[in-house]
A and B are shown apart, each in its own frame.
Chain A
Amino acid sequence: MNDSAQNRSGLRKASWLLLLARVAVFLFGKARPYALVVARAFVFMCRAALYPILAIGVGVVVYPMFWLLCTSLRTSQDFYAHPLWLPAWGDLQCS
């Protein structure tokens, strides 16, 4: 490994350590100017993590109603044969 590669590796390690130190100061120490940067990154990550949580919530709320709607369009035989899954569109009946 040549000198420039070693330097790059060392710099990478140092930057990681610096980031960890900043997170530690942010979490456990007093507020510092750079804490704002970490806070913004943290807020961004939290916000990104919100979408999967909200999507699960939407699924939990909507799927039962959708299931009810589809069930109302199925025959009893079909319903008792495959209660959980939604029917194929061709199997839906209106009478």
Chain B
Amino acid sequence: MIAPSAQSFGWSTQRWDGLTKMIPVGLVHFQRLLFESDGFWVALTNNLFIMLVIPMFVLPLSLFLAGCISRGVRGAGFFRVVFFFPNLLGGVTATLLWMHLYNPKAGMINGFLTWAGDVATHWGLTRMGLWLVSFQEFAWLSPDHLYWAMVPISVWGACGFYMVLFLAAMQGIPRELYEAADIDGASPWRQFRNITLPLLQEVIAIATVFLVIGGMKAFELIWLLTEQQPTTATHVIGTKMVYSMFNEFNVGEASAIAVLLFLMVFFGTAVTLRLMRRERVEL
């Protein structure tokens, strides 16, 4: 584990295109990335968007679904399997599927919105109808809208996994606690807030760490949605690293990005765990 990391750090101090002789340049790549170029910071901002915004949607929705299913609805097994299903598709397939859905001319999203606009106009809601029809040929995956367009993709893909995670944790909570709360007249919301949430604290912390690390390492989604040609505005750290390595043949800079990425994941995880650390709830 240490040898490849040390090798990577060694390459980050060289100017090298992968073929010719290495030229030692010290910490020039780090200096350029951190202090002389906007590209790295823009990519980091995009990573932060994925790290912060996507968990804000994924975690509550997964908790909600897990809460619904854990309360003994009929067909809980069916719902569990269906919601988990997008995880079986794999990232590339799911992204290609959503690229089709977001297709400006033939995508389902624009088609549905336009159809809904026509229906709204037909029912006399002209203003709303015109607004919905304005989405005809709307380019969801343009650099301006790419990251917001990623939110439904991520929610669709991730909710099932986190729902199963929370569901497993919820099944470990003793039923007696809920029965006692029922007898005391606590509403389902109160039971969720005062029993379920505190006992899921650790699992929520782990899920948050997964999402933060996933946001930091985001690559394939952006790479595919931008058709392997991200612009400066749409790069994340991962795509910037691959772009430097295979399009610009700048192994030194790519290695420097890799080192920075490692440090950020390491410290990001530590900070997240630290912030979410609480006194353990004993049953």
Supply 7 A–B pairs (Cβ within 8 Å), ascending by A.
Answer: A39-B187, A42-B188, A58-B79, A58-B82, A61-B85, A64-B101, A68-B100
Chain-B contact segment, one of A2-10, A11-19, A30-38: A30-38
- A23-45 Cβ-contact flags toward B at 8 Å (1 or 0): 00011000110011001001100
The A interface is mostly helix, strand or loop, or mixed, namely helix
The B interface is mostly helix, strand or loop, or mixed, namely helix
Bound CA span A37–B97, Å: 48
- For B111, list chain A residues within 8 Å (CB): 83-84
Q: Give the A-binding residues of B (Cβ under 8 A).
A: 65, 68-69, 71-73, 79, 82-83, 85-86, 89, 97-98, 100-101, 103, 105-108, 111-112, 115, 156, 160, 182-188
B69 closest partner in A (C-beta): A54
A63 closest partner in B (C-beta): B108
B67 closest partner in A (C-beta): A50
Given contacts A42-B187, A62-B82, A80-B106, contact A50 B71 (CB under 8 A): yes
Number of A-B contacts (CB under 8 A): 74
Closest Cβ of chain B to A75, distance in Å, is: 13
- For A46, list chain B residues within 8 Å (CB): 188
- For A88, list chain B residues within 8 Å (CB): none
Within 8 A of B (CB), among A48-73: 50-51, 53-54, 57-58, 60-62, 64-65, 67-68, 71
A51 closest partner in B (C-beta): B73
Given contacts A79-B106, A83-B108, contact A32 B185 (CB under 8 A): yes
- For A65, list chain B residues within 8 Å (CB): 85-86, 89, 97
A43 closest partner in B (C-beta): B188
Select which of B82, B85, B115, B186 is within 8 A of A84 by beta carbon: B115
Select which of A39, A64, A83 is within 8 A of B182 by beta carbon: A39
B106 closest partner in A (C-beta): A83
Bound CA span A25–B182, Å: 15
Inter-subunit contact B185/A61 (CB<8 Å): no
Bound CA span A83–B69, Å: 34
A49 closest partner in B (C-beta): B68
